[in-house]
Structure 1
Amino acid sequence: MPMPSLRLVFASLGLISLAACGGRGSVAPSYQQELFNTGASPFARNFDATVNETCEAARRALLSQGFLTTMGQPDTVDATKNFQPSAETHVVVSFHVVCTPGENATNQSIAYVNAVQDGYALKKSDTSASVGLSVLGSLSLPIRSNSDAMVKISSETVPAGKFYDRFFNLMGHYLNTVPRSAPVAADEVKSKPLVPSLIVSSPELTPTPIVVQTPAAATAIQASDAVAAGTASDVPAAAAAATPAAPRTTATQ
C-alpha cells in the first residue's frame, strides 16, 4: 500500500476517535434533566384534609404495604422496606413524606413524596497470611480467611410515574374510609353561663369547714376540759358534807 494511503487511513481513524470522544462529552449530566417548572409535580398531590390527617393517611398506606414507618413529627413520615431479588443482591426502598398546608390551611393540605432505591451487592474478599517457623528453617504455612460484606453499589430516586400514583390513590382511600375530626366554624361556637350549684345557693347544704387545731391548742383544750370535769365532781361531794344527817329513831315496845 502506498504511503499516502496509510496516512489517509490514520487520519481517518484519528477523526473517528475524536468524534467518539466529542460524543461522550456532549452527554448532559443527570442533574441537567431537572426542569424546575411551575406545572403539576408528579411528587405532590393535593388533599381535602388537614396536615395531620394527610400524614396519618400516608402512614397507614405505608404500613398496609409492609413498610417500617417512623413519625418523628406530625407532618413528616419516613418508611423503609427491604427486598432481596437474589442471594447476592439486596435492595432498600426508603420513603419520605412531608405534609404542608394547602391554599386553605383549615381543610386542605399538600403531600410531597420522595422514594429512594438503594442497591447492595455481596462482596467476597480473601485474605492470606504466612507464618514462618525459624526452628524448621524457612518453612511458611499459608493461612486463608474469607469475609463477606454487603457493599452499596447504587442509589437512585424512584422516577415519577405510576409508582407514586398508586401511593397517592391509596392515601385517598384511607382519607375516605378512616373517620376524621371535622373543624367547627368560628361563628357556630356559642357559650352560655352555667347554672349555679345547689350547694352554693342553699345554706342548708353548705358544708361546715373543718378546723385543724395545732397540738398546743389541743393540749390546752384537754386541760381545760379536765379542770371543768374535776370541779363538777367536787360539787356533789361538798353538798353532801354540808347536809346534816337525819336523827336516828328507835322503836320502843
Structure 2
Amino acid sequence: MPTTSFSIRFIFTVALVAGLSACATANPPELRQEQFLSSGSYVQSYPGAPERSCEAARRALLSQGYVINEATASQVRGRKYFQPHTDTHTQIEFHVVCAANSEGSNSTTVFANAVRDRYSLRKSSNSASLGVGAIGSISLPFGSSDDALIKVGTETIPTKQFYTQFFELIERYLDPLSLPVDPS
C-alpha cells in the first residue's frame, strides 16, 4: 500500500510540475498573434520628404473629423470621439510617424497606428450617515447618485482595411501638395 501512495504522489507531482512549466513558457493568446513581419498593416512608403507625408497625414485625419493634438514635420497625433450608445464612449487616438528612408533618397516611410479606448457609464449611489453618541449611527434615506465614465478596454486597432483606407487617403492628399502653385 505505501508504494501505491508513493506512486500516486509521484505521478501527481510530475503532472503538476509539467503543468506549471507549460504555463510559465506558453505565450498569452495576444502575444501568439504578434508577429514581426517585414510587411505589415501599419506602414506605407511615399515619394517625397517626411514633412510632405506628415502634412498629407494631418489633412487626412482632419478630413475624417479628428482633432489634431500634435503636428510636426515628422509626426502627427490626432483624436476622435464616438458615443455609439448612451452609456458607452469610445476614443480613437491616431499616431503617425514620417521617417526618411535613407539619406539622399527622396522617399518617406509612414508608420501609423490607432489606439481605441472604450469607456462605460457606471452609476454609484451615495447615502448619508449620522452618528449619534448614545444610539450609534443612523442611515438617512436621502442620497445622491453619481455617474462616471470608467475605462473598460484599450486596444490597438488591428484591422488591415482600416489602415489601407487611411494610407489611400494620405495618397489623395499628397497629389495636391506636389502640384506647383500658380503665381497669378
Tell me, what secondary structure is at the counterpart of 1:178? helix
Percent of pairs identical after alignment?
Answer: 35
Matches within 5 A, 1:41-190: 41-103=40-102, 105-132=104-131, 140=138, 142=140, 143-179=142-178
Unaligned runs of 5+ in 1: 1-17, 182-253
1:30 aligns with 2:30: yes
2: distance between equivalents of 1:36 and 1:134? 67
Change in CA separation of 1:107 and 1:128 when aligned onto 2, cut-off 3 Å: same
Matches within 5 A, 1:179-218: 179=178
2: distance between equivalents of 1:126 and 1:64? 42
Higher mean alpha-carbon deviation, 144-153 vs 54-63, is at 144-153
2: distance between equivalents of 1:174 and 1:144? 55
What's the TM-score once normalised by structure 2's chain length? 0.76
Name the one with the larger strand percent. 2
How many residues are paired up? Answer: 159
What's the TM-score once normalised by structure 1's chain length? 0.56
Tell me, what secondary structure is at the counterpart of 1:46? strand
Shift of 1:146: 1.0
Once the two structures are superposed, residues 55-114 of structure 1 have per-residue CA deviations (whole angstroms, 9 ceiling, x without a partner) of 000000000000001335310100000000000000000000000002464420000001
Structure 1 runs (4+) greater than 6 angstroms displaced: none
CA-based RMSD: 2.7
Code of the residue aligned with 1:97 in structure 2: it is V
In the other structure, the counterpart of 1:232 is none
Structure possessing the higher relative contact order (Cα contacts under 8 Å, 6 or more residues apart): 2
Change in CA separation of 1:141 and 1:103 when aligned onto 2, cut-off 3 Å: closer
Once the two structures are superposed, residues 142-171 of structure 1 have per-residue CA deviations (whole angstroms, 9 ceiling, x without a partner) of 142211100000000000311000000000
Code of the residue aligned with 1:31 in structure 2: it is L
Tell me, what secondary structure is at the counterpart of 2:97? strand
Unaligned runs of 5+ in 2: 1-15
